[in-house]
Amino acid sequence: MIEARGLTFGFPREVEVLRDVHLAVADEVVALTGPSGSGKSTLLLCLAGILVPSSGTVTVAGHSFEGLDLEGRSRVRREHLGLVFQFSELIAELTLAQNVALPLELLGASSREASRRAIALMEELGIAELSSRYPAQVSGGQAQRAAVARGLVHEPAVILADEPTGALDSTTGAVVLDLLLGAARRRGAAVVMATHDRALAASADRIVDLGSLSMPVHGASEASATR
């Protein structure tokens, strides 16, 4: 459902962070691991079409980012990807339900339909009773559950998650990760999740270790340790 072929990327005046990386993820959970600076976030940003690689292609649910302008890449991202970050990055002025409904409204759903689907998913994730609260009025774990709901509400083919529980204590983090992976698996969505936490990586179907490749440039191919 998401495939990177020959992906090479370097920030200006930096050595290449990614070189000739290949990654293909179907309906499975892949954990991207590796030490700090090994390029996990950079790879996720390339997979999301936010960073544009100097060479190589990314295809999401059959749609390539290649040759698309900013708006074209945003459209592919809105329609086919769900993003979940370390800090929930909810919009402070919107209630949790409004935050969760937003991706559907951006795709043209009526506010009534978007709200109905947002609340149904919030029920699944155990936060429906918080739907009219603002992000500042809930705990970090509750906010992160809302961020998970926002990432899933439009039923994307692929969820990209960057340290999705990194800001939470380990118990809360484990609960949130279970909810994220459970909801994604029930929908048959692919998940690519960056984490440096081995315990969290063990929940994945497959581990791709960027750090096992030669530093500072990462060589080709799907790396290493699989379960």
Ligand X SMILES: Nc1ncnc2c1ncn2[C@@H]1O[C@H](COP(=O)(O)OP(=O)(O)OP(=O)(O)O)[C@@H](O)[C@H]1O
Based on the shown chain and the rule CB under 6 A, indicate whether residue 34 belongs to the binding site for ligand X. yes
The shares of helix, strand and coil residues in the chain, as percent rounded to the nearest 5, are: 40, 20, 40
Element containing residue 121 per DSSP (H, E): helix 111-124
Query: Residues 6, 11, 70, 188: which binds ligand X (CB under 6 A)?
Result: 11
Tell me 226's DSSP state.
Answer: B
**How many of the other CB atoms lie within 10 Å of CB of 50?**
16
Minimum CB distance to ligand X, residue 35 (Å): 7
9: enclosing H helix or E strand: strand 2-10
Residue number, 28 or 197, with CB nearest to ligand X: 197
Q: What is the β-pairing status of strands 63-64 and 2-10?
A: unpaired
Q: How far is the CB of 62 from ligand X (least distance, A)?
A: 26
Residues 187-206 that bind ligand X (CB under 6 A): 194, 196
Does position 33 bind ligand X by CB under 6 A? Answer: no
Nearer to ligand X, 190 or 194 (CB): 194
For ligand X, give the closer residue by CB, 40 or 63: 40
87 binds ligand X (CB under 6 A): no
The contact pattern for ligand X, residues 137-176, with x = CB under 6 A and - = no contact, is ----------------------------------------
Q: Report the candidate in 74, 40, 158 with the shortest Cα–Cα distance to residue 65.
A: 74
> Which 3 state secondary structure label does DSSP give 66?
coil
**Of the candidate residues 24, 26, 37, 123, the single one contacting ligand X (CB under 6 A):** 37
On whether the CB atoms of residues 100 and 148 are closer than 8 A, the answer is no
Which residues of this chain interact with ligand X, rule CB under 6 A? 11, 14, 17, 34, 36-42, 194, 196
